[in-house]
Structure 1
Amino acid sequence: MTAPDLMKFAGRWSLSRQIDDRHSGGMGTLTGVAEFTPEGDRLLYSETGQLRIGDAPPMEATRRYIWQTAGDRIEVLFDDGRPFHFFTASGQGEGTDHLCGADLYRVSYDFTNWPEWSAQWTVQGPRKDYVMMSRYRLLNT
């Protein structure tokens, strides 16, 4: 799969996420659905799920992004249009880093088992220190 095949992500995906917060020593999980909805030549990404952190009661969690083709890569924007990061949608590879204040977000994608894929974020800085692994599996619609 190559980046110009952005529309292969369109549809509903099961989402499972594990969070290892090394700052607090806590573990978290999220179970939910990610949906990629076409809008012109880009995709609107929306995820919803139940987030559990340690022994705390579960809470509803949501995220929204915009995915679009940028040359041979996929560009991910925040839902307000600000740039977030780029990646190449083939094999295994690093995405671009994202600096948020003094915290550095690094992502690595794995598409080797397409249509199952994953994204691992490593976040380090004065306020954050965690690894978050998200796994996606295409749902039959």
Structure 2
Amino acid sequence: MLGRDDFAGDWRLARRIVDRHGGMHGDFTGTAVLTLAGADGLDYVEAGQMRFGDAPPMQATRRYHWQFRPGLVLVRFADGRDFHSFMPTGQAAGTDHPCGEDYYTVTYDFTRWPDWRATWVVTGPRKDYTSVTDCRRAAV
């Protein structure tokens, strides 16, 4: 099973979003930097460029905190609110995340480690999209 030290460091990200509600797709390219935070955590900071359809690219950032427990990673938003959790091994669904009337489900795939993937399917009255993020260790 993967642990905190396996994820620490710099990652290159490529994300593809298929928005069924809006009838378009988007692409994100950027990085995620996971830095040690306390005895059992990592701070996750993602930054890059997002492009939807023919619109000009825009800067995009995300921040999370990952807390490692035996066999489990708890993911929280930067403000400390719970987001979801996942098992850092094989291919498995993480916990779901309701957000208002919209619903987020995630599957992680670590079978090609050190490359890995997170696939989110989001459905609800305001959102209907799939987001696939491929993560690859950044060159040193």
Q: Normalising by structure 1, what TM-score?
A: 0.96
Contact 1:7 1:43 in 2 (8 A): no
List 4+ stretches of structure 1 deviating above 6 A: none
Deviation per CA, 1:35-57: give whole Å up to 9, x if none. 10101120000000110000000
Aligned residue number for residue 123 of structure 2: 124
**Residue in 2 aligned with 1:134?**
133
2:76 corresponds in structure 1 to 77
* Structure 2 spans left out of the alignment, 5+ residues: none
Q: Deviations over 1:67-113 (max 9, x none)?
A: 01133210000001110001001000000000000000000000000
Q: Distance between the aligned counterparts of 1:92 and 1:21, measured in 2?
A: 24
Deviation at 1:140, TM superposition (A): 2.6
TM-score (norm 2): 0.97
* Distance in 2 (alpha carbons) for counterparts of 1:140 and 1:51: 22
1:113 aligns to what SS in structure 2? Answer: coil
Q: How many residues align?
A: 139
2:36 to 20, 35, 38: 38
Q: Secondary structure of 2:79's match?
A: coil
Q: 2-side partners of 1:71 and 1:116: how far apart?
A: 22
Structure 1 spans left out of the alignment, 5+ residues: none
- Work out the CA distance in 1 between the residues paired with 2:69 and 2:77: 15
3-state DSSP of counterpart to 2:6: helix
CA distance in 2, matches of 1:79, 1:7: 20
Deviations 1:110-137 (A, max 9, x none): 0000000000000000000000000000
Structure-1 residue corresponding to 2:24: 26
The correspondence of residues 46-85 of structure 1 with structure 2, limited to 5 A, is: 46-85=45-84
Q: 1:7: how far off?
A: 2.0
Q: CA RMSD in A?
A: 0.8
Asked whether the 8 Å contact 1:16–1:32 carries over to 2, the reply is yes
Deviations 1:2-61 (A, max 9, x none): 4xx122100000000000000010100000001101011200000001100000000000
